[in-house]
């Protein structure tokens, strides 16, 4: 037991220190201070351990603070009439329900786990349970103080607040036992938060949590509390399955083969998801020539990674538009809803940014394509780099435009609810702005990829300049959100900026590609 | 044409891997760059190929007494780990490569003829490269670099992963194409170097040193090399 626990921490640390070291090495100051043999130095080991500890402990609390003060705190602002207690209990119930199937770190695929079980041959059952238990302990430790702090201020009874973290933690056993029993039946390992259905569920529940306070509708406090408390006994019953299940080794092996060739390639390609994303069927071909041919095959053989999520997202958005349509046919409150959505449009910049597939796209470009192609000299020539950049730009914009269009439609529809000409104009503008934003972010992702070469085959962290550039983009969007720029101006400036940005970026790429677009050692 | 290296140094942090290499490689010859694991062979190639910045020194071509920078087109570099775009089939990769480079390739052949030349079997030509074996990837990579017909061909431990038959084929190909270019070939396997190369260069202590092949019978020659390489361990 203790040995496994120790091993788990050692592996987690080893796994993360790679990333920590990678970042530290890029900071000029630290590089100077530290002695040569970076990885062997004692000082460095201490620093890395401290950062790791801060990381592990910080992650426990930061997530919960955002969850309680950010999410529930935001829902509070939506309603004027609901009491604190009702709002707290109801939001907590709905959000916890989402977490029950979206966020369960049981048998989720993580490299340190794979190493532990498949390479270090640790006991699969013990390791899986300890790893799961650790995630539950983190939930309890992180939730307890924050729930108590916020709950007391909002007038909830202390005994209930103390029970909350246990409800949340025990509730996770339900999904865990579900994973085990579906595996027994079908031989397929399901991962929390991956299926389209679970996304639908999460979005529906999220909408409920959002719309109920908007319409001043509150569930009785007692029912919500009972619902949460019920998770403890149900979770306990389900935990029997988790503790008595025998085939953990087999299920871990299945995860491995599901993830395919992972271990064979782990040495070279740390990112298994991307490596495995190449579709096995070579039936798809292309009639194009040169770089167009090359690009088309890349896109076709990475459909799973590039287009599938985009299409899923589109389906979700369109379905939500239909649901909202039906709902509002029966419910009142069109004006309120339109007003709220209208006010929230700037916030959707973040959503568009987050949903952008640019990150996945550029990562796949690097790991499955450029990482090897950049060793060929013709590929590094300026004009070839530029040619391919332009093609890829078109492609990345296309992939992202589809879900952006669907999301724009959804929002446009919500804004159009009142149905007058003014609303129509506004809704068309919303559609336009969302699409313009999507194009801008796509361009941004690809340009940063070409100029900053963020990826590295050895760790998952990106280069520091890239992270800084990205952080800066986030801050910029954040600032822009509060400027309340008229939508027209905003949309057209987005497109205008896109055009200028693309031209400047193309020039920069042509000029600097030999220095920036290459493998970094 | 000569490849002239002057005062090439390369440090990683404070570790000196290359310490002032001065050397001139001549056209039409195959050089065997012999060094132990970790001697800096790959680092040397990476510097020549501009994949990493050098700490000091210059690398240039000299033609008719005129110095000239190395352009990407001049260099073909076959890495020791195979690097091919795994999402393409062998045929697609070759097609792509030929289309992009068709203006530079002399006496263009058909794709199948190229495959034949390195004996990649018909049944493998339409497989995705991710399903190729290490050796097959390596062959394809060499093929592509040979077709590009670069002035300078760098091969980092290329034949070590190939089976005997293929290794012999590749050796023959390298001998066939050596006129008109500089071929540098790194290996830690001495017999290979002795067998294939016109000149043997030792990389140790971060410096290059020519081993005179002429005056020694094979056995004495090998002993001399081993002696030289052993020193490094003691140093
Ligand atoms: N990117 C790098 N960072 C730090 N040290 C490196 C790096 N690449 C190589 N080295 C070091 O340089 C030395 C030479 O490595 P390498 O050129 O790969 O040797 P060889 O190819 O001859 O086996 C080794 O000691 C290695 O640890
Ligand atoms: Mg090497």
Ligand 1 atom closest to Cα of B39?
Answer: 22
Contacts of B112 (CB under 8 A, 6+ apart): B125
Residue whose CB lies within 8 A of the most ligand 1 atoms, among B8, B10, B12, B15, for a mutation test: B12
**Which residue in B50, B52, B99 is closest to A289 by CB distance?**
B99
For B37, counting Cβ atoms within 10 Å of its Cβ (0-12 exposed, 13-18 middle, 19+ buried), the class is exposed
CATH number, domain with residue B220: 3.40.50.300
Mean pLDDT calculated for residue range A293-317: 87
Task: List phi, psi (to 5°) of B185.
Answer: -140, 115
Ligand 1 atom closest to Cα of B37?
Answer: 23
Percent of chain A residues past pLDDT 70, beyond the cut = 90
Whether the predicted pLDDT of A269 surpasses 50: no
Query: Between B219 and A376, where is the model more confident?
Result: A376
pLDDT at residue A149, rounded to an integer: 92
Percent of chain A residues past pLDDT 90, beyond the cut = 27
CB contact under 8 A, A377 and B100: no
Q: Does B75 touch chain A (CB under 8 A)?
A: yes
The radius of gyration of chain B from alpha carbons, rounded to an integer in Å, stands at: 18
Whether the predicted pLDDT of A177 surpasses 90: yes
CB contact under 8 A, B86 and A384: no
Q: Is residue B95 part of a domain?
A: no
**Which residue in B13, B51, B86 is closest to A518 by CB distance?**
B51
Q: Is the pTM of this model over 0.90?
A: no
Query: Tokens 């041959």 belong to which residue?
Result: A121
CB contact under 8 A, A291 and B14: no
For B165, counting Cβ atoms within 10 Å of its Cβ (0-12 exposed, 13-18 middle, 19+ buried), the class is exposed
Q: Which ligand is nearest to the CA of B48?
A: 1
Q: Please work out whether the CB of residue B33 comes within 6 Å of at least one atom of ligand 1.
A: no
Whether the predicted pLDDT of A276 surpasses 80: no
| Element (DSSP H or E) covering residue A170 | helix A158-186
**Which residue in A36, A291, A521 is closest to B51 by CB distance?**
A521
Antiparallel, parallel or unpaired: β B207-211 and B75-78: unpaired
Q: Does A368 touch chain B (CB under 8 A)?
A: yes
Give the model's confidence band at A491: pLDDT under 50 very low, under 70 low, under 90 confident, else very high.
confident
Task: List phi, psi (to 5°) of A108.
Answer: -80, 155
Closest CA to A76 of A201, A218, A203, A202: A218
Q: Which residues of B touch A380 (CB under 8 A)?
A: 72
Whether the predicted pLDDT of A68 surpasses 70: yes
Percent of chain B residues past pLDDT 90, beyond the cut = 26
Calculate helix-pair angle for A421-452, A487-516, nearest 10 degrees.
10
> Are A290 and B101 within 8 A, CB to CB?
no
The residue segments making up the domain with residue B188 are 2-86+152-234
pLDDT at residue A97, rounded to an integer: 94
pLDDT at residue A267, rounded to an integer: 39
ipTM given for this complex: 0.85
Whether the predicted pLDDT of A284 surpasses 80: no
Torsion over CA of B170, B174, B176 and B180, rounded to 10 degrees? 160
Q: Which among A38, A287, A372 is the top mutation candidate for probing chain B, defined by the most B β-carbons within 10 Å of its own β-carbon? A: A372
Buried-exposed string A292-321: b where 16+ CB fall within 10 A, e elsewhere: ebbbbbbbbbbeebbbebbbebbebbbbbb
Q: Is residue B172 part of a domain?
A: yes
Q: B43 C-alpha to center of ligand 1: Å? A: 6
Give the model's confidence band at B211: pLDDT under 50 very low, under 70 low, under 90 confident, else very high.
confident
CB contact under 8 A, A282 and B72: no
In the three-class reduction of DSSP (H, G, I as helix; E, B as strand; rest coil), residue B19 is classed as strand
Both tokens of A77, joined, read 């602002």
Q: Which among B55, B72, B78, B141 is the top mutation candidate for probing chain A, defined by the most A β-carbons within 10 Å of its own β-carbon? A: B72
Closest CA to A416 of A430, A404, A406, A434: A430
Closest CA to B101 of B90, B112, B113, B93: B93
How close is the nearest chain A Cα to the Cα of B13, in Å? 6
Task: List phi, psi (to 5°) of B76.
Answer: -115, 135
Q: Which residues of B touch A36 (CB under 8 A)?
A: 13-15
Chain A residue whose CA is closest to B99 = A290
Task: List phi, psi (to 5°) of B30.
Answer: -105, 125
**Mean confidence (pLDDT) of chain A:** 83
pLDDT at residue A272, rounded to an integer: 42
Q: Is residue B76 part of a domain?
A: yes
Q: Which residues of B touch A40 (CB under 8 A)?
A: none
Q: Does B128 touch chain A (CB under 8 A)?
A: yes
Beta-carbon pairs below 8 A across chains A and B: 80
pLDDT at residue A178, rounded to an integer: 93
β-sheet with B15-26: strand ranges across: B15-26, B2-12, B56-63, B66-68
> Are A412 and A385 within 8 A, CB to CB?
no
**How far apart are alpha carbons B96 and A161 in whole angstroms?**
64
> Are A140 and A162 within 8 A, CB to CB?
no
**Which residue in B46, B95, B101 is closest to A378 by CB distance?**
B101
Q: Which ligand is nearest to the CA of B43?
A: 1
> Are A192 and A175 within 8 A, CB to CB?
yes
| End-to-end Cα spacing for chain B | 36
Query: Between A264 and A183, where is the model more confident?
Result: A183
Q: Is residue B69 part of a domain?
A: yes
Q: Please work out whether the CB of residue B37 comes within 6 Å of at least one atom of ligand 1.
A: yes
Query: Between A18 and A178, where is the model more confident?
Result: A178
Whether the predicted pLDDT of A275 surpasses 60: no
Q: Is residue B217 part of a domain?
A: yes
Q: B38 C-alpha to center of ligand 1: Å? A: 6
Mean pLDDT calculated for residue range A168-195: 88
Both tokens of B65, joined, read 């007494």
**Which residue in A291, A380, A519 is closest to B72 by CB distance?**
A380
Mean pLDDT calculated for residue range A168-187: 91
Query: Between A62 and B233, where is the model more confident?
Result: A62
Task: List phi, psi (to 5°) of B102.
Answer: -60, -25
Q: Which among A377, A386, A453, A518 is the top mutation candidate for probing chain B, defined by the most B β-carbons within 10 Å of its own β-carbon? A: A377
Q: Is residue B63 part of a domain?
A: yes
> Are A298 and A292 within 8 A, CB to CB?
no
Q: Please work out whether the CB of residue B87 comes within 6 Å of at least one atom of ligand 1.
A: no
Whether the predicted pLDDT of A138 surpasses 60: yes
Q: Does B144 touch chain A (CB under 8 A)?
A: yes
Whether the predicted pLDDT of A31 surpasses 70: no
Closest CA to A214 of A315, A75, A36: A75
Give the model's confidence band at A33: pLDDT under 50 very low, under 70 low, under 90 confident, else very high.
low
pLDDT at residue A271, rounded to an integer: 39
Mean pLDDT calculated for residue range A182-194: 83
Contacts of A146 (CB under 8 A, 6+ apart): A61, A64, A65, A68, A69
Q: Please work out whether the CB of residue A521 comes within 6 Å of at least one atom of ligand 1.
A: yes
Both tokens of A300, joined, read 């076709």
Chain B residue whose CA is closest to A365 = B85
Whether the predicted pLDDT of A56 surpasses 90: no
Count of domains forming chain B: 1
How close is the nearest chain A Cα to the Cα of B221, in Å? 35
Whether the predicted pLDDT of A361 surpasses 70: yes
Mean pLDDT calculated for residue range A71-96: 89
**Which residue in B15, B75, B87 is closest to A377 by CB distance?**
B75
pLDDT, tens only, A421-448? 888 888 888 898 899 889 999 999 999 9
Q: Is residue B39 part of a domain?
A: yes
> Are B186 and B42 within 8 A, CB to CB?
yes
pLDDT at residue B97, rounded to an integer: 93
Q: Please work out whether the CB of residue A287 comes within 6 Å of at least one atom of ligand 1.
A: no
Give the model's confidence band at A292: pLDDT under 50 very low, under 70 low, under 90 confident, else very high.
very high
How close is the nearest chain B Cα to the Cα of A307, in Å? 16
Give the model's confidence band at A391: pLDDT under 50 very low, under 70 low, under 90 confident, else very high.
very high
pLDDT, tens only, B137-183? 888 988 898 888 899 999 998 777 677 887 888 888 889 888 989 99
Give the model's confidence band at B219: pLDDT under 50 very low, under 70 low, under 90 confident, else very high.
low
Give the model's confidence band at B22: pLDDT under 50 very low, under 70 low, under 90 confident, else very high.
very high
**How far apart are alpha carbons A81 and A8 in whole angstroms?**
49
Q: Please work out whether the CB of residue B17 comes within 6 Å of at least one atom of ligand 1.
A: yes
Closest CA to A454 of A333, A322, A315, A361: A361
Mean pLDDT calculated for residue range B194-216: 80
Q: Is residue B140 part of a domain?
A: no
Whether the predicted pLDDT of A449 surpasses 80: yes
Mean pLDDT calculated for residue range B174-200: 86
Q: How far is CA A429 from the centre of its chain?
A: 28
pLDDT at residue A294, rounded to an integer: 93
Atom 16, ligand 1: residue with shortest CA distance: B40
Q: How far is CA B17 from the centre of its chain?
A: 19
pLDDT at residue A359, rounded to an integer: 87
- DSSP 8-state secondary structure symbol assigned to residue A461: P
Ligand 1 atom closest to Cα of B157?
Answer: 21
Contacts of B202 (CB under 8 A, 6+ apart): B34, B35, B208, B209, B210, B211, B225, B228, B229
Instruction: Give the highest mean pLDDT range of A311-325, A426-440, B200-214.
Output: A426-440
pLDDT, tens only, B25-65? 999 999 999 888 888 999 999 899 888 888 889 999 998 88
């Amino acid at each position: 037991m203790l040995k496994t626990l120790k091993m788990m921490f050692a592996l987690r640390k080893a796994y993360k220190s790679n990333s920590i070291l990678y970042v530290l090495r890029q900071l000029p100051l630290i590089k100077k201070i530290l002695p040569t043999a970076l990885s062997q130095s004692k000082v460095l080991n201490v620093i890395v351990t401290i950062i790791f500890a801060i990381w592990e402990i910080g992650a426990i609390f930061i997530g919960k603070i955002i969850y309680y003060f950010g999410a529930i705190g935001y829902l509070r602002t939506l309603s004027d009439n609901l009491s604190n207690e009702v709002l707290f209990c109801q939001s907590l119930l709905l959000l916890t329900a989402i977490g029950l199937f979206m966020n369960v770190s049981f048998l989720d695929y993580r490299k340190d786990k794979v190493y532990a079980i498949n390479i270090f041959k640790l006991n699969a059952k013990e390791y899986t349970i300890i790893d799961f238990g650790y995630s539950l302990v983190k939930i309890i430790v992180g939730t307890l103080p924050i729930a108590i702090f916020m709950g007391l201020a909002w007038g909830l009874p202390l005994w209930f607040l103390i029970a909350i973290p246990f409800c949340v933690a025990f509730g996770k056993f339900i999904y865990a036992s579900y994973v085990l029993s579906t595996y027994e039946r079908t031989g397929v390992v399901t991962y929390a938060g991956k299926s389209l259905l679970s996304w639908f569920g999460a979005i529906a529940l999220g909408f409920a949590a959002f719309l109920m306070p908007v319409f001043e509708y509150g569930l009785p406090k007692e029912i919500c509390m009972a619902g949460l408390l019920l998770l403890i006994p149900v979770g306990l019953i389900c935990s029997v399955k988790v503790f008595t299940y025998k085939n953990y080794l087999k299920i871990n092996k299945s995860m491995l083969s599901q993830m395919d060739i992972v271990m064979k390639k782990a040495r070279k390609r740390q990112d298994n998801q991307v490596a495995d994303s190449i579709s096995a069927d070579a039936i798809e071909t292309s009639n194009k020539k040169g770089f167009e041919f090359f690009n088309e095959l890349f896109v076709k053989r990475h459909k799973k990674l590039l287009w599938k999520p985009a299409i899923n997202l589109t389906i979700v958005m369109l379905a939500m538009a239909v649901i909202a349509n039906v709902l509002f046919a029966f419910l009142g409150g069109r004006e309120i809803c339109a007003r709220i959505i209208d006010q929230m449009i700037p916030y959707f910049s973040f959503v568009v940014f987050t949903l952008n597939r640019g990150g996945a796209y550029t990562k796949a470009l690097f790991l499955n394509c450029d990482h090897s192609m950049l060793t060929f000299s013709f590929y590094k020539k300026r004009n070839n780099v530029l040619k391919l950049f332009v093609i890829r730009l078109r492609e990345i914009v296309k992939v992202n435009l589809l879900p952006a269009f669907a999301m724009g439609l959804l929002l446009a529809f919500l804004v159009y609810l009142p149905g007058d000409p003014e609303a129509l104009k506004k809704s068309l503008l919303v559609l336009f702005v969302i699409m313009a934003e999507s194009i801008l972010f796509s361009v941004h992702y690809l340009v940063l990829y070409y100029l900053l070469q963020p990826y590295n085959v050895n760790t998952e962290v990106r280069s520091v300049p890239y992270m800084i550039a990205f952080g800066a983009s986030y801050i910029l969007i954040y600032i822009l959100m509060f400027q309340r720029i008229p939508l027209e101006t905003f949309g057209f400036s987005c497109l205008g900026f896109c055009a200028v940005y693309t031209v400047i970026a193309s020039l920069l790429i042509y000029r600097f590609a030999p220095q920036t677009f290459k493998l970094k050692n | 044409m000569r490849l002239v290296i002057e005062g090439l140094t390369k440090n990683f942090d404070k570790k000196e891997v290359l310490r002032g290499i001065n050397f001139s490689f001549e056209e039409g010859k195959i050089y065997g760059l012999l060094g132990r694991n970790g001697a800096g062979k790959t680092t040397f190639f990476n510097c020549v190929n501009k994949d990493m910045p050098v700490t000091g020194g210059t690398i240039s071509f000299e033609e008719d007494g005129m110095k000239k920078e190395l352009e990407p087109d001049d260099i073909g570099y076959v890495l020791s780990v195979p690097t091919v775009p795994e999402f393409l089939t062998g045929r697609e990769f070759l097609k792509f490569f030929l289309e992009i480079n068709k203006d530079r390739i002399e006496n263009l052949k058909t794709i199948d003829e190229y495959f034949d030349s390195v004996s990649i079997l018909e049944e493998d030509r339409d497989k995705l490269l991710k399903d190729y074996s290490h050796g097959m990837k390596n062959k394809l990579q060499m093929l592509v670099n040979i077709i590009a017909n670069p002035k300078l061909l760098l091969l980092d431990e290329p034949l070590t992963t190939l089976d005997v038959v293929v290794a012999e084929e590749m050796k023959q190909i390298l001998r066939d194409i050596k006129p008109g270019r500089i071929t540098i070939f790194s290996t830690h396997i001495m017999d290979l170097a002795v067998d294939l190369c016109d000149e043997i260069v030792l990389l140790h202590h971060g410096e290059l040193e020519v081993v005179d092949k002429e005056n020694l019978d094979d056995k004495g020659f090998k002993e001399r090399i081993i002696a030289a390489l052993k020193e490094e361990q003691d140093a």
